Amino acid sequence: MKFISIFYCFFLLSVLGIYWSLAAQKLRLWTLLIASLVFYASLNIQYLPLLLVLTFINFRLGLEIGKNTSLGPHSQDWRISNEEWQFAQADWNLRRLKILWLGISLNVLLLLSFKYLPYILKSIFNLSINSPDASFKFIAPLGISFFTFECIAYLIDVYRGAPATEQFLKFATYKLFFAKLISGPITRYHNLATQFNTLHFPTIDRVSEALWLIAKGAVKKGIFADHLGIFVDLCFGNLQRAGSTDLWLATFAYGLQLYLDFTGYVDIARGSALLFGFVLPENFNFPYFSTSIAEFWRRWHMTLGDWLRNYLYFPLGGSRRGLVRTCWNLLIIMLIAGIWHGSSFGYVVWGAFHGLALGVHRLTDAISDRYESMEKFWQNPLGIILAWLLTQLMVYTSWICFRLPNLQDSSFVISHLWGRSADEQFAQKVYVEALNMSQYQLTWLLLAIAALMGIVYAFNQKLKLEFNWPIKLVFVPLCLYAVWLLAPEGSLPYIYFDF
């Protein structure tokens, strides 16, 4: 069941009708949980038992980690000495730490097994279980990366002092909530659990905002991302015939496709959740208008960036142990981010590229702090434009390794970005027959999409202007009709389903 489909529309309306007709919180949670199981079963039913078991295991581990340490020997015998109590407390904290590491190890090993099992089998036994000749196809559970990251965050939060939930129904509903289960945003348990206790039927402005998010997300994904994806697939699927200009256009188009695809999904997810009374965290804040790679990661996939900072970067020491250690920490977390995305070396290179860029940015900042003229340069219009161009060049070229994780393919593209002419048949097949537009027209189309994003950014971020709820309600049916009319046949799958 895809978000952009008539089936999802009927599914969402049916669940909403049942959900808001019930007054008891417990019945509403059961409604959401059952609906989430149905939703996941429509996509990946074979792994549903696994997700339920993992949900229960993490729930039990959270309970063990979160047991009140004050209810120890002191509560059983008030005559125990302070020294004995301190030893008992130290032993209990050590036990909690061991349980935490057990939970983290379980989730990490599970994630790595699904991510890297095909690669390991191919390397050791020369067997690829995704090959056409294999007796079965290996398909990792949809959303397993987001699922395990949320579990790890929950266990660490409880270890740090947040209360562990004693209600499995509430925890399971949080973990399996269909709006965020497949592709995020990564949501902390305590953020959503608080909202479980304060549910109110959404007001008209909230309903209009929810419908606007769904309609806007459908346009981003169904019209823009899918049409861009057709060209990207054609170009990167025929590397030997594409010319340098085609490769540059495909790289730019893929950067836009990835953003519009992912942010479109998140918009629909957040809009769907808002109809149930839940506010999911934002995941994007116009990242392509960042003037540094550090700012880019504060705006791109923000919930993943928040996870990496809170559960990896800060425990490694963050920026508290000197400039060199800070740069190493940045490289490490970005390498882990690359490994998280997949088993191919291209993802590792992508992560290393971003880690090095973050390190260079930190070094540049440190040098600029020492020289006033250099600091002023980066703050004047010329410096800002140069910083933006350098940031976008780095980000877009790194997407090549992300889109083509096979290093042989990505190396081929990078080495042929200059001085290569396209095959005549390529131009005929791609631009004339598939796209029905020239290379020149496609270039202007990509620039128009970028300009439209710039206009939205200016109104939203700079002028702080947005439509009021009546105008949003007017545009909702127009947007959905445009998607129905203009979206290509056979919509492309969401890109982040692979991660």
The per-residue pLDDT for range 172-209, each reduced to its tens digit, is 999 999 999 888 899 999 999 999 888 888 899 999 99
What are the pLDDT digits (tens) for 367-402?
988 888 888 888 899 999 999 999 999 999 999 999
CA angle 341–491–224, rounded 5-degree value: 80
Q: Domain limits of the chain? A: 6-199, 206-498
CB half-sphere exposure, 352, CA atoms < 13 A? 6
Instruction: Classify residue 251 by burial, with Cβ atoms within 10 Å: 0-12, 13-18, 19+.
Output: buried
What tokens does 187 get? 């949501």
Residue 315 neighbours by CB under 8 Å, 6+ apart: none
pLDDT for 432 equals 86
What are the pLDDT digits (tens) for 265-306?
999 999 999 999 999 999 999 999 999 999 999 999 999 999
Query: How far is it, in rounded angstroms, from Cα 477 to Cα 278?
Result: 23
Please say whether the dihedral angle defined by the alpha carbons of residues 75, 80, 81 and 86, taken in this order, is positive or negative.
negative
Say how many C-beta atoms besides its own lie within 10 A of residue 126's C-beta.
7
Residue 322: helix, strand or coil by DSSP? coil
N-term to C-term CA, the chain:
18
Mean of all residue pLDDT scores within the chain = 88
Show the DSSP H helices in 219-292 as ranges: 226-236, 244-275
CB half-sphere exposure, 1, CA atoms < 13 A? 19
Q: How confident is the model at residue 73 (pLDDT cuts 50, 70, 90)?
A: very low
pLDDT for 381 equals 92
Residue 301 neighbours by CB under 8 Å, 6+ apart: 184, 262, 283, 284
Tell me the chain's radius of gyration from C-alpha atoms.
25
* Catalytic positions: 341
pLDDT for 484 equals 92
What tokens does 189 get? 């348990």
Q: Which residue do the tokens 């994904």 mark?
A: 221
Average pLDDT over residues 142-149: 88
By percentage, how much of the chain surpasses pLDDT 90? 63
User: Nearest CA to 148 among 268, 351, 307, 335?
Assistant: 307
Q: Structure pTM?
A: 0.90
pLDDT for 32 equals 96
Distance of CA 43 to the CA centre of its chain: 19
Query: How far is it, in rounded angstroms, from Cα 139 to Cα 45?
Result: 12
